[in-house]
Each structure stands twice: as C-alpha cells, then as structure tokens.
C-alpha cells in the first residue's frame, strides 16, 4: 500500500508539471497563476498550493505543514514542491533537473491569495528570487536586455481574493441590524438574548440548527422537515451554519425566505 501511494504521488507530480508546461509560453509572456492559502489549526501552520489549468480545471500540488508563519517558510515550501515536480519529470536526470525546476518557476507569471500581510511579503520574496536567482541564469540574452525589457519579463501579477469582504459585510450587517432593532424598540429588545447578535441573525442560526441536517443533534428536526418537503417535491435549501464563513449568512437568509411559506 505504501509503495502504491508513492507511485500515485509520482504520477500526480508528473501531471501537475505537464499542466504547468502546457499553460505557459514565456516567449509570449503567458504563464500560470499560482493560488495559495494558509491556515492555523492547534498552533500548527499549514499552506496549500493550487494551479488552474488551461482546460479550466484546478490541480493541487501541495498541502504542507510550515515550520513557522513567515514569508520565508512559504517560499521554502513552494521551492520544495517545485523541486519534487522537477524530480518526478526528470526521473533521476540530475543534470536536467535544475533546468526543469527553473522552467517550472518561470512559468508562474501571477499569484492569487488573500490580503494577509504574510502573502504580500511572500510576493516580494517570490519576485526577488525570480529576478536574482532564476531568470538571469535561464535567459542567455539577459545581459543584453535593457531595463524595460527586463521589467516586462520579470513582472509578476499579484491578485488578491475579495471574498473576505463578504464576511465583513455579514459582520457589519449584524451590527447594523442590532442597532436598528434597538432603535425600533426604543431600547432593549425584550425577546432577545443578552449578547451582541441581532435577532435576525439569531433567527437564521436557530433555523439552521432546527431544520438543517448538520444542526442540533438534541433539538433538531431536520429529518422530519426533509420528509415533509419531499412530500411537496421540494428540497431543504438551508446549509450548515457552522463550518462555513463565506456568504453563509446571506445564503441562508435567502433560503429561509424561500421556505417562509413552509413553516
């Protein structure tokens, strides 16, 4: 089983490398976009790398545990993964491995990550590594290029995901609804709990606990609600409130409004 796992990983590494070569053409400044993201669980730092292919698919070529939470750690993890890809492609050809590694690295012409400060620092390190260590050693006419040509070749586009704004919208919507409820009732809402959550958001969360399959194990009636809707040729549109951050408040608000005539 362990040998099979190693063979599967080797095949996967070759597939990712071939996808990177296929999606890049350095002569036309066409390359791959590196997607990366990190998280921390129980004081351990993890980072992942993905790559969208020219066929519109997405491949993952790394989920690694980092030694720390610095840009250097992300850079080291990426270089290690690219070395693994180069090793898989060259099949022990040590002389050609460095050249393949440089080609894989040069094929990355843009990055996509969230707006965390560590990712901005990683982008700077990535740019500097390309300019100082890779491109001058790969392009034979590098010394004959002027500054404009060099900047065009070494320019890497860095894009940042805006989905976290939706999370912020939800948090601010909760605060605004709480303030509106307080103003409408001229003070404390006699039907609310003593916390910062608005009645609207509490209604959404309670509905998910009661009627969604991943809700409350003790008080939930998800199975009964599902059978009831199946009798009407409908499905439960609510999603789990826990474990979801992006857009979950707005999604469940829409679903609950859809089911308003069902209750």
Question: Domain boundary at 161, 187, 210, which?
Answer: 161
- Looking at residue 132, its pLDDT comes to 66
Q: What is the domain range of residue 21?
A: 2-161
The sign of the CA dihedral 84, 89, 92, 96 is: negative
In this structure, what CATH number is given to the domain that contains residue 75? Answer: 3.30.420
Per the structure, the count of domains in the chain is 2
pTM metric for this prediction: 0.60
Which CA distances in Å does 210 have to 125, 127, 200, 260?
Answer: 49, 50, 15, 14
- Looking at residue 110, its pLDDT comes to 79
Question: Domain boundary at 131, 161, 191, which?
Answer: 161
Q: Is 103 left (phi over 0), alpha (psi -120 to 50) or beta?
A: alpha
Are 150 and 245 part of one and the same domain? no
Are 93 and 169 part of one and the same domain? no
Degrees (nearest 5) of the Cα angle 227, 235, 212? 75
Contact 77, 64 (CB under 8 A): yes
Contact 193, 205 (CB under 8 A): no
Are 102 and 135 part of one and the same domain? yes
Degrees (nearest 5) of the Cα angle 190, 192, 193? 120
Are 133 and 203 part of one and the same domain? no
Are 257 and 234 part of one and the same domain? yes
Q: How far apart are CA 237 and CA 79, in angstroms?
A: 43
Contact 154, 130 (CB under 8 A): yes
Are 151 and 168 part of one and the same domain? no
- Looking at residue 24, its pLDDT comes to 65
- Looking at residue 256, its pLDDT comes to 92
Are 190 and 249 part of one and the same domain? yes
Closest of 29, 2, 8, 120 to residue 70, by C-alpha: 120
**Which stretches of the chain drop beneath a pLDDT of 70?**
1, 23-30, 92, 130-132, 140, 163, 187-194, 243-246
- Looking at residue 84, its pLDDT comes to 82
- Quote the percentage of the chain above a pLDDT of 70: 87
| DSSP H/E element including 3 | helix 2-22
The dihedrals phi and psi of 240, each to the nearest 5 degrees, come to -60, 130
Contact 156, 126 (CB under 8 A): yes
Are 223 and 145 part of one and the same domain? no
Question: Domain boundary at 161, 196, 215, which?
Answer: 161
Within 10 Å of residue 43's Cβ, how many Cβ atoms? 5
């Amino acid at each position: 089983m362990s040998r099979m796992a190693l063979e599967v990983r080797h095949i996967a590494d070759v597939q990712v490398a071939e996808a990177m070569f296929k999606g890049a053409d350095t002569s036309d400044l066409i390359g791959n976009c590196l997607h990366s993201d990190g998280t921390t669980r129980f004081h351990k730092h993890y980072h992942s790398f993905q790559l969208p292919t020219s066929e519109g698919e997405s491949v993952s070529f790394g989920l690694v545990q980092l030694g720390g939470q610095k840009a250097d750690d992300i850079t080291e993890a990426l270089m290690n993964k690219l070395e693994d890809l180069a090793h898989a492609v060259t099949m022990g050809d040590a002389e050609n491995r460095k050249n393949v590694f440089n080609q894989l690295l040069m094929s990355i012409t843009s990055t996509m990550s969230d707006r965390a400060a560590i990712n901005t620092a990683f982008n700077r390190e990535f740019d500097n590594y390309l300019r100082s260590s890779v491109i001058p050693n790969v392009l034979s006419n590098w010394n004959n290029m002027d500054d404009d040509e060099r900047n065009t070749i070494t320019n890497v586009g860095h894009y940042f995901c805006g989905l976290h704004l939706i999370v912020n919208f939800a948090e601010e919507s909760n605060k605004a609804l709480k303030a509106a409820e307080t103003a409408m009732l001229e003070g404390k809402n006699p039907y609310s709990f003593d916390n910062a959550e608005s009645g609207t958001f509490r209604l959404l969360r309670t509905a998910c606990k009661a009627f969604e399959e991943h809700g409350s194990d003790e008080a939930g009636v998800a199975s009964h609600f599902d059978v009831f809707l199946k009798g009407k040729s409908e499905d439960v549109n609510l999603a789990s409130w826990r474990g979801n951050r992006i857009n979950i408040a707005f999604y469940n608000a829409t679903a609950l409004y859809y089911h308003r005539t069902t209750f």
